[in-house]
Structure 1
Amino acid sequence: MISKIAFIIMAFVAVACSMQEPGAPQADFETLIADCQAPCSVEFKDLSTNKGVYNWKYDWSFKDSTSFSLEQNPVLNFSKAGKYQVVLTISNAKYGSDTAEKTITITAPIAPEAEFLVTGNNCQAPCEVGFTNLSKNAKTFKWEFGDSSAVKTEQSPKHTFNKAGTFKVILTAFIETVSDTAAKVVTIITASKVLEADFDIVAKDTTRPDSAVYSFVNKSKNATSYLWDFGDKSQVKADSPTHAFPRTAKDVTYNISLSAISGSEMKKKTRALIIKKK
């Protein structure tokens, strides 16, 4: 008759053997991500059963390809979209091996659409132009202004153009490795030169009894030609002329006018000059 102690020993051995002598192993795994847009990382979790207490070897590979990991629960980076057949092989010298295969789908990111609005175009240099980003499905941006200035990465920057000209502004919108570009031409015009008419009157010889001679010093700006009217029915085209005014029996006031001309534009300046009587 078997003693109680012997029965307990036999039961313990049976339990221990059952823990170390599992049935045939069954490889299985899952991925811990529901939606993966390239580039992305995917974590693989081993769910294999009947491995008992033995050490098992893990071999993760793409079907018809070499291994990419020997870890039990690896993480793999996918840089491109596509369908990938992943195979897990578990093996043990005593129980052999088993494999599980699943298809992993990596989707392509939604393509960005680059677009922007320009405000302040056709301004006189130097001037600041604003750019409003209207891009869709983008995360980062690169702005090139076509004037040899540094690239900007702001979403909606402002930029100062220091010289006149036409500049091709390019916006590149990125989402991960996918990009799209939009371009617009910005026109910066030359600052117009303000036309000004001005002069000084300088006495040259006022001691004569019959006349007084004055010089007219031209101080006009940005003109290409000049017309003087001395108020005595005489005119002259000159830069800084000299003119004699006759003396009469009474004081006479002459309205001296200078017309400064540039193309079709003209500015006029008038000053009064009193010539004393004889």
Structure 2
Amino acid sequence: MNRYFLIALLSCMLTSCWTWQPKELILPPTASFTIANNNCTLGCVVTFNSNAPTATSLKWEFGDGGTSTEANPTRQYTTAGNFTVRLTATNQAGSNSTTQTVTVNNPAAPVPNFTIANGDCVAPCEVVFTNTTTGGATGFQWNFGDGIGTSTQQNPRYTYQTGGTYSVTLTATGQGGANSIVLPVTIRSAPPVVAFTLNNNNCVAPCEVAFTNTTTGSVTSYQWNFGDGIGTSTQQNPRYTYQTGGTYSVTLTATGPGGSRSTAQSVTIRAAPPVATFTLGNDNCNAPCTVNFTNTSRNATSFRWDFGNGITSSEQNPSIQFSTAGNYTVQLTASGANGTNTTTQTVRTVVPRWRSVATFPGVPRSDVGIFVLNNRAYVIGGVLGADRFSNEVWEYDGNGNQWNQKRSISASGAYGVGFTNNNTGYIIGHTTDLGNGSSLVHTYNPGSDSWTNRIESSLQNRPFCQACAVNGKAYLGVGFNQTTLVEYDLNTTSATTIPVPAALNSVGGGIRFPINGRCFIGGGFTIINNQVSIKTQAFEFDPGTRQFLQRGDVPENTLASPVGPRSFFLNVENGQLYLYQNGQFSTVETGNKPSFNRGGIFLFSIGNTLYYGGGYNFSNSSLPRFTDIWAINLN
């Protein structure tokens, strides 16, 4: 029972109030409410619904300083947190309050993202960025990664000037904070734009041209080709000297991250006028002699020589023989694209002279065998007088002008014919019986100073034969009794006979020497019915084809010896010298003629020097033999 009702009843009984009428009882309100959208995110609107039907007034306290008297108010919180909401309900009977908590959360930070359009373009190029950020961003900051570009636009565009891979950063900011994302964008570099200028074009060679590189773009290296087949460079701004005139295509290739490009220009170099110059070798030589001309002209494409002796040439570096002594004005005219030029020099040739050299130290003799080995002459045996022969061997050293006695040959004799092969000396026909000849082949080793000999049956019955060695084979002459040559292999000692022309049948003596890979065969004599017949016909025998090529007649009473690349013949009666060349004979003037009219002389050559000496007097062979030795330089 309500306590207020009991108080009223008791009061009436005490006052004798027997007539009782009850009054309406008013009770204090009960405060309660519900909340819609509790535990929401900052910025949300919270709705409150009261449940206090007996209240005559309501008061709301929202916990953030705000209040309301509405029955069902709404509230938007401006800060995040936990807020205690109080509702107080009031009527005439009193008041009643209740509380609840509202939770307002801070919002999450934005989630940034974007897409890229026109990436992988060639610089300079524009890239479009589309912002796809979520989460309520309120602001954006872009950094385009090249150290230059930024933006605060939502969807910016940006132009990259150079190639590379750039890290693009988007930062999105909202109520809940800021987040960033980084994405790469690749911009391809453009190949360089290649260009250059040149200075001193159209100059006269030799001249230097300067090249200025005006290439633009990203470049890591340069390669120049100056177009003359010689010059290149990797410098940025090279200089190059052109030696000759012409039009040259100059190419510059520039390479960078975007690739390589090239460009070319023509440079014109004017040819310089020709300058005719030459040098000459072997000047002041003993005629006949060959002079070598070395052309040192510049800027010339053709030449004309006039040697002052009736000979002309268009060769660049000719070699010309001057047959007689004299002073010759040699003229060279050089022609080129820019004119002609002429120069002259004088060639002096002198008459060679015989000079006396070291006297033969042995017993005077004639009809010796001779060969020349390693620039030394070896004199073998010889006739000392009537029925007297020698087996001595003497070596003549032309450099030291001295004679040295060497080991003697195995037997005395004379009339030997010498030749050499593979650092070995050979003597055939060394005999004391000229009428029968000899079948022995004697070989000499200069290193050990020793002789060996062997019988060669093919030499039998070939008295007074001659010999010539070419390419490892000896070609042994006919002699008085035969009609064939003997091809004798000096390595295998095998022998083959070769028929000779009729003019060489049974010819003894004569002349044999190698010339240009052939054997010269000529001169000599035959003895038929005790009648001596002098032969003058000459041939060159070609071992390759085994052909006999007829040449001009041999001058009478001559002996021959090669001197360097040429061959000279000496008339032993009067000392006249002849040059054999191209199959013909020509006389050679000498400044003097020492004692000649001799038979059985020594005749040999060392280098370009011809030697003769010894022998007997043609007019009286019983007189003592000679020991004097003479030399003439035939360079």
Normalization by structure 2: what TM-score?
A: 0.30
Q: Which residue of 2 aligns with 1:49?
A: 53
Amino acid paired to 1:258: V
Which residue of 204, 214, 224 maps to 1:221? 214
Residue ranges of structure 2 left out of the alignment (5+ in a row): 1-22, 216-220, 272-336, 340-635
- Maintained 8 Å contact 1:203/1:215: no
- Maintained 8 Å contact 1:213/1:243: yes
- Maintained 8 Å contact 1:226/1:260: yes
Amino acid paired to 1:194: V
Q: Which residue of 1 aligns with 2:201?
A: 202
Separation in structure 2 between the aligned mates of residue 122 and residue 162 of structure 1, nearest angstrom: 13
Local SS of the residue matching 2:224: strand
Local SS of the residue matching 1:51: coil
CA 1:167/1:242 → structure 2, altered by over 3 Å: closer, same or farther?
closer
Deviation at 1:184, TM superposition (A): 1.7
Separation in structure 2 between the aligned mates of residue 29 and residue 59 of structure 1, nearest angstrom: 10
Is 1:37 paired with 2:44? Answer: no
CA 1:44/1:148 → structure 2, altered by over 3 Å: closer, same or farther?
farther
CA 1:245/1:34 → structure 2, altered by over 3 Å: closer, same or farther?
same
Deviation at 1:204, TM superposition (A): 3.8
Post-superposition CA distance 1:81-114 (Å, at most 9, x none): 77x663312346x533212445546577577543
Is 1:99 paired with 2:106? Answer: no
Alignment RMSD, CA only? 4.5
Deviation at 1:258, TM superposition (A): 0.9
Q: Which residue of 2 aligns with 1:12?
A: none
Residue ranges of structure 1 left out of the alignment (5+ in a row): 1-16, 206-211, 247-253
Q: Which residue of 2 aligns with 1:256?
A: 248
Q: Which residue of 2 aligns with 1:10?
A: none
Percent identity of paired positions between Structure 1 and Structure 2: 20
CA 1:138/1:227 → structure 2, altered by over 3 Å: closer, same or farther?
same
Which residue of 66, 70, 73 maps to 1:69? 66
CA 1:191/1:38 → structure 2, altered by over 3 Å: closer, same or farther?
same
- Maintained 8 Å contact 1:197/1:219: yes
- Maintained 8 Å contact 2:55/2:89: no
CA 1:170/1:197 → structure 2, altered by over 3 Å: closer, same or farther?
closer
Separation in structure 2 between the aligned mates of residue 237 and residue 137 of structure 1, nearest angstrom: 63
Local SS of the residue matching 1:235: coil
Amino acid paired to 2:129: F
- Maintained 8 Å contact 2:138/2:172: yes
Separation in structure 2 between the aligned mates of residue 150 and residue 263 of structure 1, nearest angstrom: 31
Local SS of the residue matching 1:89: strand
CA 1:163/1:140 → structure 2, altered by over 3 Å: closer, same or farther?
farther
- Maintained 8 Å contact 2:250/2:267: no
Is 1:60 paired with 2:61? Answer: yes
Deviation at 1:241, TM superposition (A): 3.9
Separation in structure 2 between the aligned mates of residue 184 and residue 220 of structure 1, nearest angstrom: 38
- Maintained 8 Å contact 1:22/1:51: no
Q: Which residue of 2 aligns with 1:249?
A: none
CA 1:104/1:181 → structure 2, altered by over 3 Å: closer, same or farther?
same
Amino acid paired to 1:157: P
Deviation at 1:194, TM superposition (A): 2.3
Separation in structure 1 between the aligned mates of residue 202 and residue 49 of structure 2, nearest angstrom: 104
Local SS of the residue matching 1:203: coil
Is 1:152 paired with 2:149? Answer: no
Separation in structure 1 between the aligned mates of residue 149 and residue 263 of structure 2, nearest angstrom: 43
Deviation at 1:158, TM superposition (A): 1.9
Separation in structure 1 between the aligned mates of residue 141 and residue 132 of structure 2, nearest angstrom: 13
Separation in structure 2 between the aligned mates of residue 268 and residue 189 of structure 1, nearest angstrom: 22
Highest Rg: 1 or 2? 2
- Maintained 8 Å contact 2:110/2:176: no
Q: Which residue of 2 aligns with 1:25?
A: 29
Amino acid paired to 2:112: A
- Maintained 8 Å contact 1:39/1:77: yes
Deviation at 1:77, TM superposition (A): 0.3
Deviation at 1:148, TM superposition (A): 6.0
Q: Which residue of 2 aligns with 1:183?
A: 182
Deviation at 1:59, TM superposition (A): 4.8
Separation in structure 2 between the aligned mates of residue 194 and residue 142 of structure 1, nearest angstrom: 38
- Maintained 8 Å contact 2:60/2:85: no
Separation in structure 1 between the aligned mates of residue 148 and residue 198 of structure 2, nearest angstrom: 43
- Maintained 8 Å contact 1:198/1:269: no
Separation in structure 2 between the aligned mates of residue 266 and residue 71 of structure 1, nearest angstrom: 81
Amino acid paired to 1:38: L
Separation in structure 1 between the aligned mates of residue 267 and residue 254 of structure 2, nearest angstrom: 24
